Structure 1
Amino acid sequence: MQLQRTICLLVASVSIGITGCVPLSQSNAQISQTPTTTQTPLREPDVVYVPTPQEVVDEMLALAKVTKNDVIYDLGSGDGRIPVTAAQKFGTRGIGIDINPERIQEANANAQKAGVSDRVKFLNQDLFTTDISQATVVTLYLLPELNVRLRPQLFKQLKPGTRIVSHDFDMGEWKPERTVQTKEGSTIYLWTIPKEVPPNLR
């Protein structure tokens, strides 16, 4: 895992596009099963694809207190394990965004295999230009500078009370509400979108 983290920090190129979203009209809306993919990435990924261990996925969902009423947006969704796990365990609906079409195909195959294709959808998009306004939970596994770059988008689009959970990397000056250390040696951070954004974070 330490080697994976080192790779993640040193190489600028993962499945984001995370770790890790397209709008749903409402949390209980039917999600189309038709994947949107292209033959080549929209642009070069920002980070090297490193899957989040399943144990960490479980901890992230627990920390966010995910329920069947939530809509998860996984930004940089990779093989789709976060939305798929949430759908299997809690009946949650989810959207995964990844810039690499190969990851989208893999995630859709995993959702089909898990029997949750009616609850999750994976889209080949750039997370920095995606509408995430329907999310009630956002999950991330990006680099610190990407989290900070994403922060204005989170404040602008997400409703107050939306929970954000990040694997291993924080949000700079935006201090987390909770920080959890897993048995596997990972760190998980939790934030909630406030009613008013502090001036120093705008």
Structure 2
Amino acid sequence: MKTLKTTSFSIILSIFAVTIAVAQTTAPPKLDVPYVPTRQVVVDAMLDLAKVTNKDVVYDLGCGDGRIVITAAKKYGATGKGIDINPERIAEAKQNAKAADVTGRVEFEVGNMFETDFSKASVVTLYLLPSVNMKLRPKLLRELKPGTRIVSHAFDMGDWEPEKTIEVDGAKIYFWTVPEKK
């Protein structure tokens, strides 16, 4: 009888361990920022403030459903890349790009923005939290070429004074240009 109890307990323990392992591999990614889509009027103002053209490469860090990069491609003829840690958002962004007929101009990638190379960008857009902007700032200044434009919806970058701040439909938008390296 004791062997049966031990065997049953071992089986239950094994099932529990496998269940935990599967849950850990399929758990949603830890997000630094909740997903809140940028309203289209704000997207338009961000891209306008950055003076996006068909020569630009727009990177959206934490791209969500892809609307900023898609709008840059559709409205201005820019190319672009969206990075998001959430695979569901990337799948949605790819569907939205297909629906907008811009798949040849944009790409979307599941990735961590702190581990992604975005040095090819001429414009970087953000809608992150202040703490994430501050953590990201050294990487932006280190990796981006001088003259690259950075536009942030809602949140600044601490003591790095924006060159311009505008308000659109109740939302603040901040603009910086990456300075020459010292």
Do Structure 1 and Structure 2 share a fold, with TM-score over 0.5?
A: yes
Identity over aligned pairs, percent: 61
Q: Tell me by how many angstroms 1:59 deviates.
A: 0.1
Matched, 1:186 2:147: no
Q: Tell me by how many angstroms 1:47 deviates.
A: 1.2
Distance across 1 between alignment mates of 2:77 and 2:145: 22
Distance across 2 between alignment mates of 1:40 and 1:90: 38
> Partner residue of 2:93?
107
Q: Tell me by how many angstroms 1:88 deviates.
A: 0.4
> Do the aligned residues in 2 keep the contact of 1:40 with 1:101 (CA within 8 Å)?
no
Cα distance, 1:39–1:84 mapped onto 2, change above 3 Å: farther
Per-residue CA deviation, residues 117-146 of structure 1 (Å, 9 max, x unaligned), is: 000000000001100100000000000010
Q: Tell me by how many angstroms 1:39 deviates.
A: 6.5
TM-score, structure 2 normalization: 0.84
Distance across 2 between alignment mates of 1:110 and 1:138: 20
**In structure 2, what residue type is equivalent to 1:125?**
G
Aligned residues: 158
In structure 2, the gaps of 5 or more residues are 1-24
Distance across 2 between alignment mates of 1:49 and 1:152: 24
Q: Max radius of gyration: which structure?
A: 2
Matched, 1:163 2:133: no
What is the DSSP-based 3-state SS (H/G/I as helix, E as strand, rest coil) of the residue aligned with 1:127?
A: coil
Q: Tell me by how many angstroms 1:74 deviates.
A: 0.2
The alignment yields a C-alpha RMSD, in angstroms, of: 1.3
Instruction: Summarize the alignment of residues 112-151 of structure 1 with structure 2, pairs less than 5 Å apart.
Output: 112-151=98-137
Distance across 2 between alignment mates of 1:47 and 1:144: 10
TM-score, structure 1 normalization: 0.76
> Do the aligned residues in 2 keep the contact of 1:39 with 1:101 (CA within 8 Å)?
no
Distance across 2 between alignment mates of 1:195 and 1:181: 28
Superposition misfits of 4+ residues, deviation over 3 angstroms: 38-41
Cα distance, 1:103–1:39 mapped onto 2, change above 3 Å: farther
**In structure 2, what residue type is equivalent to 1:66?**
V
Matched, 1:196 2:181: yes
Q: Tell me by how many angstroms 1:196 deviates.
A: 3.1
In structure 1, the gaps of 5 or more residues are 1-37, 198-202
Higher helix content, 1 or 2: 2
